Chain A
Amino acid sequence: MDPSQRDRLSQLVEELTMSGQLQLNQEKMKEIKKICKMSNDCIDHVYHLVMSQLNQDHSEIRLSALQITNELFSRSHHFRTLVVNNFQEVLELTVETDSEQPLPPPKEVARKLRALAIQTVQAWYSSYGEAYKKLALGYHFLKKVKKVDFQDTEARTEVERTREAERHRRMEAIYKERVEAASKDMEDLYQEIETTLKEMESCMKLLFPEFDDTDIQSRPQIFQSASECESADEQPCCSRDLAEDGKETMIKEKQEEKICAEETRDEDDHMTDRPAKKLEEEEDDEEEEEGHNEDEGDSFIRSSGLISHSYSLDLTINPDLRIKENEDNEAVVSTLIELHRLLSSKHLPAVQGWIQVFTKSGAEQQLIRRALYLKQSIEAALQKHEELHIDYKSRVRRVMKASSDGEDDDNDDDDFEEVPEKEGYEPNIPEHLRAEYGLDPSPSTSTAPVTTKSSKQMASSTPLPSSSSSSSSASARRLKRLLEEQSDPTCVAATLQLRRQLEQSSFQSTSSTRSSKAAPVVPFGLDLYYWDEEQPNAGKIFKSSSQHQFWAHAPMEEEVENKELLAESRSRYISFPGSFTPVSHFCRARLDNGLLCQRQDRFKCPFHGRIIPRDAAGLPLTEGDRLREEREARRKREEEPDWRDPELMRDIELATGEDLGSDRAARKGKGKKKKYPNLTDLKQSSSTSRFRLEKKIFNKSAMRRVAQVMNKADSRKHDKFSNQFNYALK
């Protein structure tokens, strides 16, 4: 055999097995076959190569090697004899026949390897089993002794199957236990849930009666019957009417008797638009209808003034019901809330848990059905509750009040409600707080805009605001709405507010004496003392030409003018620190991690040099800067230690599409490059913190050092106390 062929074969086998792929590269495989075809020597060589690869502690390598074996096995008799002669080892390495030699990691691939090996052995046996005795023996060995089920797609051995069965049994026991517990729970809770549901049902019935559209639709369009039914249907609604409201509603009724049916419809639409005041309008609606019915009834009885005998009346029944809590139904509603909470937070999860347990463990049909029934009824109840749209908002406050004031608080509320604009009126608002309150600065006009606005709103919302039954909650809502409107920039209130603020600020700016404020305050000095005047003897000093005290003559004394002193006395040093302006720009040079440098130096960043204008990606805007920066970066990269993993960087580059300089790093770190990048790295798992620590601690030199220190301590003891027997013994 040619040495070149030999080398080529070695290279090919290595490439194929080290590729880490699940499938062989067909091109390379073909080349191997082509070379192998030439002589048996080549086959021998390939056999040894493949066996050595099969012996590697890496399942991916073994898998590829097995695939090569399979390819050649079907081709060459010589290869077959070789493999069959060493079939024990092949089986050990691929099917895991020896329990002391488990297949190497990665686990996933090991499983695949096993399955493939078993399939392969079966295929070999079916085609060559008769000719090669040992192959048949191996097959029987796997089948009889190792109890490999060749039909089993998962190719599990007996041990695995028993383990699986064991696990299954255990799970079943657990499930059974759970089912028992759940059914017991259900027995216990069933009554409770039933009663809860019933209570809730009756609560809802109290709040809002059963109301079926289908009834209405099925009804004949003949007016009379309709009206009768209508009145009958609506009858329970009257029970909701408040006793106190009785009179007022009567008045309203009178007022609105003139409104025709179309208007009623409009009103209805209107009502859906304004959820806030739904109660009143609902009441109105209902009353209108009542009045109408009466009216129509009368007219029917009279029947003379009518154009037609039958009228078609469009009744729009608002499908989404809204119920508002008030004093009357408070108890019912609070019960309802309680029940709702109980159902949704306790019972529903419990029921869902049971259903889960039952379905998972395949419990009796009856149990499941019962649980499902419970769940359905709970869900139906909750759904119904949803549909009622009960308004709880004022509830908390009400409860608090009720607890503090007792029974009389309703009356008290009424007393206070005489003054509807309470929340807008605050006579003692300090001037500086007025803006906060949304008020005009001047106290004389303080309440005017608010009152007008709110009254406007009142007019639009309720026809008779002062007589509204639940004005305390309503007024609170109104205030809230006002605030909301102010925060809404499209609203009138907001515009007003803005204008007010503007006026205020302009007034301030015009009246202030800005110049005096801007003038600096300086300490008093000579220059100020002689401000705008000639300084009499500034800069003049006596100069005696002779230093002698007695022998000098009098007129010799003269004054000399010193220019420096003169200037000194006239001028004034004012140290001008200026005002501190915080730096608002960032360095914005691009960092290694892809972010921009967030340093805020005034002129120069200690890391990235002079601060220059940069674009969004952190690149300098000017060409010169950019060039310089690139040059520097290159230089730096060359100096950089080789800590960067080129593989990782290449991955990142592929992901981000930006050049991080991995090819350069790769070129430099030739020694560090991984030989087979596609193989799963088995050592990765071993670099755990424990492993690293162990490496440090059980390092040979470290151990030696410790031992030395301990020996030293020991020997010192010996030196000192060796003559004293009781120490020496220690």
Chain B
Amino acid sequence: MLAFLTARRAGLDDPLRLRRAESTRRVLNLKLNHDRDVDRIHGNGINTLDIETIEGRYMLSGGADGVIVVYDLENFSGSQQYTCKAVCTVGRSSRHVHKFSVETVQWYPYDTGMFVSSSFDKTMKVWDTETLKPAEVFEFEGNVYSHHLSPIAKKHTLIAVGTKNPKIQLCDLRSGSKIHILQGHRAEVLSVRWSPRYEHILATASADSKVKVWDVRRASSSLLTLDQHNGDKTKAASETVNTAHNGRVNGLCFTSDGLYLLTTGTDDRMRLWNGATGENTLVNYGKVCNESRKRLQFTVSRGCSPEFVFVPCGSSVAMYALHTGELITMLRGHYNNVDCCEFHPDYQELYTGGKDCNILAWVPVLRDPDEEEESNCVNKGVQGPSSVNPAFQDAWSSDED
């Protein structure tokens, strides 16, 4: 670290380099930390999380009981120990609460005064954060699995909505109406994602095991359909032509630069695609357990030199190196299936929510205080009073000698 600092000061290195190296180091040291807690508000599983990009301070969470909670992630107390407070809640007592499970929540990318949530009660609601009342309600024919607002769009305010209906709906926030549909899928659309690079590019994943990339300006058909065999007809059986997975595709995620697209499917695979050509990069991530029948929210780190993917894998979160497919570590802390994870790019923190009603904060632990303290203890002698929690001490009784 010191070397990086001096190199930067000397102008040898790009300032970005230090930043990358440090954030990579921090990401690699993600641990379940005692110092960071998130209020337990949800009485049921947590389906979705979203951290706003403006300040990086507020986090939305949507639960399987229809409850939406806004957390304040910023720690102003000065002490290490911090519990993320729930700022406001759309609870069951609210008149406007979603009747059924909330599947997706998302901040309006330019302002925290608004957020959008969609639910299995066949509605998508646009909320005013101040009053916690819906400013607009879109109703659909089927369960809404996923929606997405383009994070970079300047020219449009479209919300892509994937529902039980194979047609993808495009809703315009300006007019408050469903202005367009995209046809091409044959089964319910589990996940939709705007490209963070090109504002008109939309990727959609469906239960018919296909992933399509659209340009919303040319809505007659999709730009391309991702093919797991890269068009190699010899490998593909006739029915698997142009499929991304051999099962339902329920997770979709662009890398932060928008150059690559990651998909997960119920065939327990994760695939990395070239965002421009739609080519399968054939990175082997091994088996990524995935039994979800709904959308799986996973995330990619931002600002690290090798980027990392955090993907829920059963009751733990697997962390892979994006381009090598190497499994870095398994973050084990949930006691039930994990449904969503969200990366905080500023502090390199990871928030995960699962069916066990917990939102866990994974915080970089840069040094291990226990080790130093313990070595201190050894130096001082066993009887010396230590500042470390006494629970960390061994308690061998003397009668074992």
Q: Please report A residues at the B interface, Cβ cutoff 8 Å.
A: 30, 33-34, 37, 74-78, 80, 85-88, 91, 97, 127-128, 130-134, 137-138, 140-141, 144-145
Contacts and interface: CB of A to CB of B under 8 A. Distances in A.
A134 B395 CA distance: 20
A86 B335 CA distance: 10
A586 B288 CA distance: 79
Contact of A131 (B315, B334, B336, B392): B392
B335 A145 contact: yes
Contact of B333 (A33, A78, A91, A134): A134
Interface of B: 32-34, 40, 43, 315-316, 332-336, 355-358, 360, 389, 391-397, 399-401
Q: Which of B332, B397, B400 has the most CB of A within 10 A?
A: B400
- Contact residues of B: prevailing secondary structure: loop
A133 B33 contact: yes
Contacts of B399: 30
Residue from the set B394, B395, B397 with the largest chain A CB neighbour count within 10 Å: B394
12 contacts: A30-B399, A30-B400, A37-B396, A75-B397, A76-B394, A97-B336, A127-B391, A133-B33, A140-B358, A141-B335, A144-B43, A145-B357
A369 B43 CA distance: 51
B394 A145 contact: no
A145 B65 CA distance: 13
Contact of B391 (A30, A86, A132): A132
Given A30-B399, A97-B336, A130-B391, 4 more contacts: A74-B395, A91-B335, A141-B335, A145-B357
B358 A137 contact: yes
Nearest to A78: B394
Contacts of A138: 335
Contact of A75 (B355, B394, B401): B394
B401 to A, nearest CB: 7
B395 A75 contact: yes
A131 B315 CA distance: 22
A128 B389 CA distance: 10
What are the nearest 10 A-B pairs in CB distance?
A131-B391, A141-B335, A33-B400, A133-B34, A131-B389, A128-B391, A34-B400, A77-B392, A37-B396, A141-B356
A130 to B, nearest CB: 7
A141 B400 contact: no
Contacts of B360: 137
B357 to A, nearest CB: 6
A259 to B, nearest CB: 95
A87 to B, nearest CB: 8
Nearest to B31: A133
B358 A141 contact: yes
B332 A88 contact: yes
Contacts of A127: 391
A145 B356 contact: yes
B356 A77 contact: no
A141 B357 CA distance: 8
With a 10 A CB-CB cut-off, give which of A88, A91, A144 has the most chain B CB atoms. Answer: A88
B40 A144 contact: yes
A130 B401 CA distance: 30
Contacts of B32: 133-134
Contacts of B389: 130-131
Contacts of B40: 140, 144
B338 to A, nearest CB: 11
Given A75-B394, A77-B392, A77-B393, A137 B400 contact: no
Nearest to B358: A137
A139 to B, nearest CB: 10
Given A85-B332, A91-B335, A141-B358, A33 B396 contact: yes
A560 to B, nearest CB: 119
Contacts of A137: 333, 335, 358, 360
Contacts of B332: 85-86, 88, 134
A128 B34 CA distance: 13
Contact of A97 (B333, B335, B391, B392): B335
Residue of A30, A128, A133 most packed against chain B (CB within 10 A): A133
A19 to B, nearest CB: 20
A34 B401 contact: yes
B59 to A, nearest CB: 19
A134 B335 CA distance: 10
Given A130-B389, A130-B391, A145 B333 contact: no
Contacts of B395: 74-76
B369 to A, nearest CB: 12
B316 to A, nearest CB: 8
Contacts of B357: 141, 144-145
B265 to A, nearest CB: 22
A91 B332 CA distance: 13
A213 B354 CA distance: 87
A200 B397 CA distance: 82
A179 B394 CA distance: 63
A140 to B, nearest CB: 7
